[in-house]
Chains A and B, each alone.
Chain A
Amino acid sequence: NAGVTQTPKFQVLKTGQSMTLQCAQDMNHNSMYWYRQDPGMGLRLIYYSASEGTTDKGEVPNGYNVSRLNKREFSLRLESAAPSQTSVYFCATTQGLADTQYFGPGTRLTVL
């Protein structure tokens, strides 16, 4: 029972490259989220999926796309990475939107 897993743990990209961050949960939760964490900025919501088959924009969606592949998996794609996207990315899950959030261990992304 791993909870929430994220891959990769670390990634370095060059400006303009693309990549997909993967998130999987074995908690049978309905809702999944992608956040980015930057110093002094706290946790900012990028996209979320309230349930399988739905996705919605959060506070900072520009430059990102998401896919809710199935109930377990929620991926975040950077089509053309920019240095401003250097950050630590966290995936989280909840049973319902108002429930306790369970976070993954994070992906540290550097864009050169």
Chain B
Amino acid sequence: QQQVKQSPQSLIVQKGGISIINCAYENTAFDYFPWYQQFPGKGPALLIAIRPDVSEKKEGRFTISFNKSAKQFSLHIMDSQPGDSATYFCAAINQGGSEKLVFGKGTKLTVNP
């Protein structure tokens, strides 16, 4: 049972373009939605996160859009750069519960120069 579905599995974008990665969830108890970024040969690291009381969170070129009614959230990378080439994981958790963080399967982003 996949609790967080992530798409696409891979994405190729030209430098300066917008990268969009989508995630969907079923468990309405989830109340914290982080995104992790993983560079080749490294472990994942927290990039940005959102709670469902806001519809959007922006940090520099990275924006999370959140649609609570549709149970979907997405990561937008504006002005994508070759240095953004990495694997991105969405995740979700009920911070008030006893369950652990649930990850999507990841999206490999390649930004061509």
Contact = CB atoms under 8 A, between A and B. Distances in A.
A102 B44 CA distance: 8
Contacts of A74: none
B43 A92 contact: yes
Interface string A28-40: 0000010000001
Contact of A105 (B32, B34, B42, B46): B42
A42 B105 contact: yes
Contacts of A90: 43-44
B46 A100 contact: yes
Interface residues of B, number: 26
B46 A101 contact: yes
Contacts, number: 50
Contacts of B101: 97-98, 101
Nearest to A106: B43
A8 to B, nearest CB: 14
A100 B49 CA distance: 10
Nearest to B43: A103
A78 interface: no
Interface of A: 4, 33, 40-43, 45, 48, 58, 90, 92, 97-98, 100-106
Given A42-B106, A43-B103, A98-B93, 19 more contacts: A4-B43, A41-B105, A42-B89, A42-B103, A42-B105, A43-B44, A43-B89, A43-B106, A58-B100, A97-B99, A97-B100, A98-B95, A100-B34, A101-B44, A102-B45, A103-B43, A105-B42, A105-B43, A106-B43
Counting from the closest, the 4 A-B pairs by CB-CB distance are: A103-B43, A42-B105, A98-B95, A43-B103
Interface of B: 6, 9, 32, 34, 36, 41-46, 49, 89, 93-101, 103-106
